[in-house]
Amino acid sequence: MTFDTQTATAWITAAEAAVKADEARLTGLDAAIGDGDHGANMARGLAAALTNIAERGPATPGDVLVAAGRGIVAKTGGASGPLYGSAFRRAGKALGESTTVEAAELGAALEAALTAIKELGGANEGDKTMIDALAPAVAAFQAVAADGGPIAAAAAAAAD
């Protein structure tokens, strides 16, 4: 699998569809410990990400991620908007102007995204935040990439 503009857009599209399908459950989980708007906020933010991508017509995968991040920040309320938006933008900037990206480059971009979330949120592993899920996922992706594995295998390892 080549990670190019089309693939990056497809991944954001798939994320938007998954969040939209699970919006009520995400909101319900948030209602148990928070203000009950996470599902709606993330659905709105990812829809805005797709709109921003379509309007900008990005030329590189990095441009796709930066456009997505801007859409997320603009339309996602609460702490999630700045956290996820910053992550997407930082990952996009890490990819630079390459039109196709290999697994190791994408792994470095994921590390940059994780760093953005840590810096903005002030959290680290063990603080019982999203970092506790994201850090091991990034490490798993990078381990497969470092062994020369393809993006699909690295993504599967991260998802596990």
Q: Averaged over 79-101, what is the pLDDT?
A: 97
Mean pLDDT of the chain: 96
| Residue 77 confidence (pLDDT) above 90 | no
Contact indicator for 28, 59 with CB cutoff of 8 Å: no
Q: What does the pLDDT read at residue 138?
A: 99
Burial class (CB in 10 A: 0-12, 13-18, 19+), 114: buried
Q: Which CATH class is domain 3-159?
A: mainly alpha
Burial class (CB in 10 A: 0-12, 13-18, 19+), 14: exposed
Contact indicator for 59, 79 with CB cutoff of 8 Å: no
pLDDT tens digits for 112-133? 999 999 999 999 999 999 999 9
pLDDT tens digits for 51-73? 999 999 999 999 999 999 999 99
Q: Averaged over 75-89, what is the pLDDT?
A: 94
Q: Averaged over 24-33, what is the pLDDT?
A: 92
**Domain residue extents for the chain:** 3-159
| Residue 18 confidence (pLDDT) above 90 | yes
Query: What sign does the dihedral 19-155-92-97 (CA atoms) show?
Result: negative
Q: Averaged over 79-95, what is the pLDDT?
A: 97
Q: Which residues pair with 45 in a beta bridge?
A: none
Q: What does the pLDDT read at residue 88?
A: 98
